[in-house]
Amino acid sequence: MSRRRKHGEHANHERWLVSYADFITLLFAFFVVMYSSSQVDKRKVGKIALAIQVAFQQMGLFPSSNSRSGLSTSEPMPFSQVQMAENVIRSENLGRVVSATKGDMGPASSDVSPRGIEQELEKALAPEIQRRALSVDTRREGVVVSLKEVGFFDSGSATVKPEGEEAVGKIAAILNSRPDFVRVEGHTDNVPIHTTTFASNWELSTARATELVRLFTTRYGISPSRLSVAGYAEYRPLASNATPEGRSINRRVDLVVVTPQRSEVPSTSSEEPEKTALPAPSSAGEMGSR
């Protein structure tokens, strides 16, 4: 019986192609993943950088520029565009806030400081100030327009003279352009009065202040919630009642434009308002409007 002869194994010199093909496939997949990841990261990095920069600028750490650029969140956002994108967002938000504020506060004035109000009144009332029918000055409680009796009321009367109505209209026009609160205070001298209309200086001083409030609300459309009335009779003089000149100065109606720091703004919150201590009643017998 013959034996089968064994042949030697043939060496395969092309096996490296399999490993090379696997390596090329893995390398291709690696670069595809890297490319895809880089596109997503640019977009996310841009958004993160924008959020961080806005936060730092709100804290005052980064200054903002005045450049403007269109926003696009669908494409990768280079970091160089972050500053311009942030300014667009902040400018649009600021515009909405300013518009809402103007709508809530009403007409805006060029200068809301007490000195600005005083200058505006002095300019409008220059003829009346020159003939000494009234005066304008700033005191602790606010800007005071002092209407003298000689220019606005007849002796013992609470009706405004026709020649004084023009000045009242000028004052009302300025007050209508502002949100300030106004306290109308009536004052007299110490000469007693007793007529069929007014039993004392208390009634006369309060009636004159109330008459001006009536004109402001009915004729000139000033909101009654911004006005209050007080009558002090002869108990808060500016000059001595011992002379005719002093008594003439004391017979007046003061319009006190209350400064914003002292304005009592009605609360719109549902929370209980803060309680403040009320001053003890003075001998002047202040009378509030009802």
The pLDDT of residue 133 is 92
The pLDDT of residue 79 is 47
Edge-to-edge strand ranges of the sheet holding 227-231: 134-139, 142-148, 252-258, 182-187, 227-231
Helix H or strand E segment including 170: helix 165-176
The pLDDT of residue 279 is 45
> What is 223-281 written as a DSSP string?
-GGGEEEEE-TTSS-SS-TTSHHHHHHHSEEEEEEE-GGG--PPP-SSSPPPP-PPPPP
Alpha carbon of residue 157 to chain centroid: 40
Neighbours of 180 (CB within 10 A): 20
Per-residue pLDDT of the chain (290 residues; tens, 9 = 90+): 556 666 656 666 777 888 888 889 999 998 888 887 766 566 676 777 777 777 666 655 555 444 444 444 455 555 455 445 545 455 455 445 444 444 444 444 445 677 788 899 999 999 999 999 999 998 888 899 999 999 999 999 999 999 999 999 999 999 998 888 999 999 999 999 888 899 999 999 999 999 999 999 999 999 999 999 999 999 999 999 999 999 999 999 999 998 765 444 444 444 444 444 444 444 444 444 43
pTM to 2 decimal places: 0.53
Q: Return the half-sphere exposure (C-beta side, CA atoms, 13 A cut-off) of residue 266.
A: 6
Answer yes or no: are the C-beta atoms of 23 and 31 closer than 8 Å.
no
The pLDDT of residue 290 is 38
CA-to-CA separations, 78 to 46, 111, 190, 282, in angstroms, rounded: 6, 43, 80, 71
- State which fold the 114-262 domain adopts: 60s Ribosomal Protein L30; Chain: A; (3.30.1330)
| Chain region(s) in the chain for CATH 3.30.1330.60 | 114-262
CA-to-CA separations, 151 to 81, 85, 123, 209, 235, in angstroms, rounded: 66, 61, 18, 15, 22
> What is 67-112 written as a DSSP string?
------SSS---GGGHHHHHHHHHHHHHHHHHHHHHHHH-S--S--
Helix H or strand E segment including 136: strand 134-139
Residue 232, phi then psi, degrees to nearest 5: -115, 0
Between vectors from CA 167 to CA 164 and to CA 169, what angle results, nearest 5°? 110
